[in-house]
Structure 1
Amino acid sequence: MQTYKGRAGASPRAQPGTAPRAFGCHMEDHSKHVRSVPLPAMQQNLNYVYPQIFWVDGCADTSTSCPSTPPVAPFPPPVPDRRTKPRNNRERRSVGFLVISLLILLALTGVGLSMFQIFHLEKELAELRESASTERIPPALEKLIGQREQLNEKEARKAAHLTGNPAQRDLPLEWEPVSGHAFTNGVQYRDQGLVINETGLYFVYSNILFRGSVCSSQVLTHLVYKKNPSSPGSHVLMEDKGINYCMGQKMWARKSYLGALFNLRKMDSLHVNVSKIALVNFEESKTFFGLFKL
């Protein structure tokens, strides 16, 4: 590294006609050419002297001409702008909507796969249970159980329940076979009676409610009888008679219930008869008639 020595000095006042001394630097190796740059003329007329400024160029040989302007060091390449452009609100909303849609689709896909897996497992479990039950029960016993179930279903349909019908015309009593609590399964209601379609053991029942506003000595009769086209006449199955069922001249009511087990044949028809239709209360919960097969 080259060292520089210099001195600086100036008189407080410059003598007329003489140039003021200038500050400067002296290099020991004389490898640099020193060129003085005078101050403007208007500054030389001042009472005090400004130091002169020297510019040292890099020319080593004074005999050769140096370039008038010093070399300029190249500037570094510009730094690229790494700032991203701000996104507008519409683009942000679009990205957010896309993300939410993808999340919802993923959730629905997971739920669908879970439901499919559960359904598949339930199907396999049902097949295992069916195979296990089939292996445990012998074929002969399984056939017998199936026949018994079919028989029970067939027998369960052999039943009927009829309710009172106020639109009475003549004896035997007419009934309501459809509306309310009334029904017929495997038994036909025809000609004011129940027709048996299959021979077997049946339980037959009938309930009649008598009521009146004046007490009299009339006998109340309630009976159930059957008929069959193969045999003439009718056969009484059950009968009830009421005597002394009221006292004084007050309103009265009396219930008559009949019920028993009978072996009935195919084409038997069952009917109900009373002593006087005008004394019967035909409400469906008080007067009814029916049967069922055992």
Structure 2
Amino acid sequence: MAASDYRGYLRDHADTERVRPRPRTHAHRPLIFATLAVMGALQVASSVAILLHLTGHLREVDLSSPQYQPLEEVRTEPLIAEPKKRPRFPKQKKVPAAHLPVRGPTDFSIRDEKAVMVHWNANQGHLMKIQYKDGRILLKEDGLYYVYAKTCFRLWIGEKSPTPQPDVSNAQLIQYVYHEKHTQSMIRPILIMKSGSTVRWDNKKYHFYCVQQGRGVHLSPGDALFVNVSSSWLLDPEPEASYFGALKLGN
């Protein structure tokens, strides 16, 4: 009886081993793969953060800055805008220039058609790095200058005339602009501009005629410029009508 019971126990134990299910290891594979993926992603993010920090693209956050403080600790005082600084422009270099009105009154007693030098009013004119002496503009700097001159002639016949005026049927009204080189041993004026006309004035009460010229000339220190006109006794003494000047354009 004992032997049959022992055989029955062994048979039941063998059947129990066959029926017990084996552990399913493949059910945990997705969890393992997900864990490995997360760990890989964290590793990559850590490496990128370290690289950005080393290259200066990632700045450290200052938690003491007001923008990271709680709302109750932020200042509530009104902000005053700082005045904007005015832009600083470079100082403009003073350019040599001269503008001189005619010096009046004109001497109507001298009635000569020959060309004479015109004198200008330096007190009412403008001189910058240029001098004026005895009807001449004197240059100090070398360079290319724009030289201009305008002279107007008028004739009154009648009560408004300053002095009795004769009948002028063929008046030569010519303007000459000269350039002198004072650096030479012998000064010889060079004519650089000439313009005008021979007018036929009748017996009307008022006659008016103007000559205006301008051109570029290369001048040197010590050079001079002056203007001659014919029939100077007819020259208009108004500063808006007759003037003479020069302006430096470049080197």
Shorter chain as denominator, the TM-score bin is 0.5 to 0.7
User: Partner of 1:42 in structure 2?
Assistant: none
Distance 1:248 1:262, change over 3 A: same
Determine which of 233, 242, 249 is the counterpart of 1:287. 242
Give unpaired runs (5+ residues) of structure 2.
Answer: 1-77, 111-115, 158-166
> How far is 1:218 from its partner?
3.0
Give 1:199-210 correspondences, 5 Å limit: 199-210=142-153
> How far is 1:173 from its partner?
1.1
2:222 is equivalent to residue 261 of structure 1:
no
Per the normalisation by structure 1, the TM-score is 0.47
Determine which of 113, 116, 119 is the counterpart of 1:174. 119
User: Which amino acid in the other structure matches residue 177 of structure 1?
Assistant: A
Aligned residues: CA RMSD? 2.7
Give 1:1-294 correspondences, 5 Å limit: 121-122=82-83, 125-126=84-85, 149=90, 152-155=92-95, 158-167=96-105, 171-179=116-124, 182-212=125-155, 213=157, 214-231=167-184, 232-243=187-198, 245-250=199-204, 251-294=206-249
- After superposition, what is the alpha-carbon deviation per residue over 1:144-173, rounded to whole angstroms, capped at 9, x for unaligned? xx9xx56x5133xx1111001115679411
User: Which amino acid in the other structure matches residue 209 of structure 1?
Assistant: C
> How far is 1:236 from its partner?
0.8
Answer whether contact 1:178 1:184 (CA < 8 A) is retained: no
**Structure 2 CA distance for aligned equivalents of residues 227 and 121 of structure 1:** 59
- After superposition, what is the alpha-carbon deviation per residue over 1:107-130, rounded to whole angstroms, capped at 9, x for unaligned? xxxxxxx9xx95x822xx53xx88
> How far is 1:277 from its partner?
1.8
**Structure 2 CA distance for aligned equivalents of residues 154 and 224 of structure 1:** 26
Per the normalisation by structure 2, the TM-score is 0.54
**Structure 1 CA distance for aligned equivalents of residues 219 and 200 of structure 2:** 37
Deviates more, 1:163-172 or 1:188-197: 163-172
SS in 2 for 1:175: coil
**Which protein, 1 or 2, shows the higher relative CO under an 8 Å CA cutoff with sep ≥ 6?**
2
User: Which amino acid in the other structure matches residue 182 of structure 2?
Assistant: P
Give unpaired runs (5+ residues) of structure 1.
Answer: 1-113, 134-145
Answer whether contact 1:159 1:291 (CA < 8 A) is retained: yes
Distance 1:255 1:262, change over 3 A: same
> How far is 1:252 from its partner?
1.6
> How far is 1:242 from its partner?
0.9
- After superposition, what is the alpha-carbon deviation per residue over 1:43-77, rounded to whole angstroms, capped at 9, x for unaligned? xxxxxxxxxxxxxxxxxxxxxxxxxxxxxxxxxxx
> How far is 1:178 from its partner?
2.5
User: Which amino acid in the other structure matches residue 266 of structure 1?
Assistant: P
SS in 2 for 1:238: strand
